[in-house]
Amino acid sequence: MEKRFGVLRIIGTLWKVLAWIELIVGTLSAFGVLLMGILGSGSFLLQFLGERANVIPGAMGLVSSIVAFIALLVGTIVYFLVLYAVGELMFLMLAIEENTRGTRRWLEQAAGGGSEQAASPPPTS
C-alpha cells in the first residue's frame, strides 16, 4: 500500500527530533544551574546584597540551585514528553488512516470488488 501524506510524516519526525533536542539542552541547562550554584555558592549573592548579606544564610545559594535544578529537570522531562507525544500522535493518525484505507479495500474485495457498492450510501429505513 502506498504511503500518503509525506509532509505530515516529516512534521511528526521533526516534533520527535525537537523533543530529543529539548531533553538534551534542558538536561544540560539543569546541570549547568546546579554547577553554577555549587561553584558560586553565594559569592554573587554576597556581592549583590552587600551589607544585607548577613541576613541570608550562606547555603541559600546552594539550596536554591538544587531547587532550580530539580524544577528545570522536571520541566524538561514534562516538555519532552509533550513534544514527543505530539509527534507520536501524528504517526498514530497516519496509521489510523492507512488501516482504514486498507480495511475499505479488503471489504471491497470481499464484497465482489465493486467500488460502486462502497461509494453508494447505505439504505435508510
C-alpha cell at 6: 509525506
Pick the residue with more confidence: 64 or 83? 83
Residue ranges making up the domain that contains 36: 6-111
Residue-wise over 29-46: b if at least 16 C-beta within 10 A, else e?
Answer: ebeebbeebeeebbeeeb
- Measure the CA–CA gap between 2 and 12, rounded to whole angstroms: 18
Residue 26 in any domain: the answer is yes
pLDDT at 27 over 90: yes
In contact, 38 and 62? CB cutoff 8 Å: yes
- Measure the CA–CA gap between 97 and 21, rounded to whole angstroms: 29
In tens, the pLDDT along 29-39 reads: 999 888 887 77
Could you tell me which residues come within 8 angstroms of residue 28 by beta carbon, excluding any fewer than 6 positions away? none
Residue 102 in any domain: the answer is yes
Q: Among 8-12, 47-51, 58-62, which stretch is predicted with the lowest mean pLDDT?
A: 47-51
pTM check: above 0.75: no
Q: Look at the block and give the residue holding cell 500500500.
A: 1
Residue 21 in any domain: the answer is yes
Residue 125 in any domain: the answer is no
Pick the residue with more confidence: 35 or 70? 70
What is the number of structural domains in the chain?
1
- Measure the CA–CA gap between 34 and 26, rounded to whole angstroms: 12
Residue 123 in any domain: the answer is no
